[in-house]
Structure 1
């Protein structure tokens, strides 16, 4: 796992890099948020230690930028003059922590540990979603239509009427799509639909 230190204070960057390197972490340093963006760090696992006030992109602006791009790198903010409103905004936007400077070693390592755990959880969720999307891609056009109607709470006979099929055909499609997705119940199917972004306003329909 790599820790990205983004701070315009040269001495602090160096001190943090030495400390974290001695603790066994791989470390990269950047003098600004813009430098981090230009570095194109890719999908390497890790977290970010981010200063709030910097020339160019501020820490909060970089946080917004990374969130918009779907980055799952957790952020631990470091600040010498942050206020409560700023910290609340950062935490609500997904920051792992908001630490004041000077930073205590124990508090820093604890925040990094939690950030790494968050990264691993997010990476696992992303992997599971990717796997689910691959399974969904194997559905036929008709199975997709049945899927969308099932998770809206429609019964087999209602779906058959909607699609102009027989109930027997709908049941066959329903069985097939559940096998392809690995769903063992309607509840699981609804959860999968939610993760895939398929509307499921009604989840209480019973299978026929």
Structure 2
């Protein structure tokens, strides 16, 4: 038997894209073309169901609001019809109830259309690895408010300045604290958020909606 050639590139993931706004769908397809094969673009839930049943795909990227059937109902219909490709919703809907319904229906990803293209690509990569991805701005709801740590006002000030990239000495000067006090706050924050270093601290804080890294 011939040994597999590890130098060959792995097959590109095949994606079905569903959005009833043609220009939006075409713009998304342009974002994906470098890393994915968009095998079909459809404009309705009915077309999505037919295409997914006939065309093998590794991922399905779909809007929720479509004219004939909402995307969540379409996901349920896909599963009932035996289509098991992971589904990522790319939508404007940020309402907690809609997010809940999508995840309970079996969505593997939920990304807001207002997010940067990099976030969509990160979501698709995570789902391809078998994970779940939800836009960071929605995680506060998804994780449950009881999971959001209660921070003191001073801890929030230190955390926000850390997220801005300031060093302990700069934060100490800004807040009129000693460097040792800032370092103590940093260590406590790392314990509260269960992380091991400053990079993980800022990333976790953003995921929980405690800070925003957007300029």
Selected match of 1:94 from 106, 111, 117: 106
Q: How does 1:98-137 map to 2 (within 5 A)?
A: 98-118=110-130
Are the equivalent residues in 1 in contact too, given 2:89–2:110 (CA < 8 A)? yes
Say how many residue pairs are matched: 119
Partner of 1:80: 92
Structure 1 gap ranges (5+): 120-208
Separation in structure 2 between the aligned mates of residue 38 and residue 26 of structure 1, nearest angstrom? 16
The aligned residue for residue 15 of structure 1 is 27
Contact 1:74 1:95 in 2 (8 A): yes
Instruction: State the alpha-carbon separation in 2 of the partners of residues 43 and 11 from structure 1.
Output: 23
Say if 2:46 is the partner of 1:31. Answer: no
CA displacement at 1:23 relative to structure 2: 2.6
Could you say if the C-alpha distance between residues 81 and 45 of structure 1 is closer, same or farther in structure 2, counting changes exceeding 3 Å?
closer
1:194 paired residue number: none
Q: Which residue of 1 aligns with 2:81?
A: 69
Q: In the TM superposition, what whole-angstrom CA distance separates every residue of 1:86-135 from its partner, at most 9, and x where no partner exists?
A: 1111112211121111231111011111222339xxxxxxxxxxxxxxxx
In 1, distance between residues paired with 2:62 and 2:102?
11
Q: Which has the larger radius of gyration?
A: 1
* C-alpha RMSD over aligned residues: 2.0
TM normalised by structure 1 equals: 0.52
> Offset at 1:42?
3.3
Q: Match of 2:68?
A: 56
Q: Which structure has more RCO (C-alpha within 8 Å, separation ≥ 6)?
A: 1
TM-score (norm 2): 0.51
In structure 1, what is the Cα distance between the partners aligned to 2:69 and 2:99? 17
Q: Distance in 1 between matches of 2:52 and 2:89?
A: 20
> Could you say if the C-alpha distance between residues 89 and 43 of structure 1 is closer, same or farther in structure 2, counting changes exceeding 3 Å?
same
Contact kept in structure 2, 1:6 and 1:31, CA below 8 Å: yes
Gaps of 5+ in 2: 1-12, 132-215
| CA shift digits 1:125-175 (9 cap, x unpaired) | xxxxxxxxxxxxxxxxxxxxxxxxxxxxxxxxxxxxxxxxxxxxxxxxxxx
Task: Answer yes or no: is the 8 Å Cα contact 1:50–1:75 preserved in 2.
Answer: yes
TM-superposition CA deviations, 1:11-44 (whole Å, max 9, x none)? 1100011111123434421011111223354362
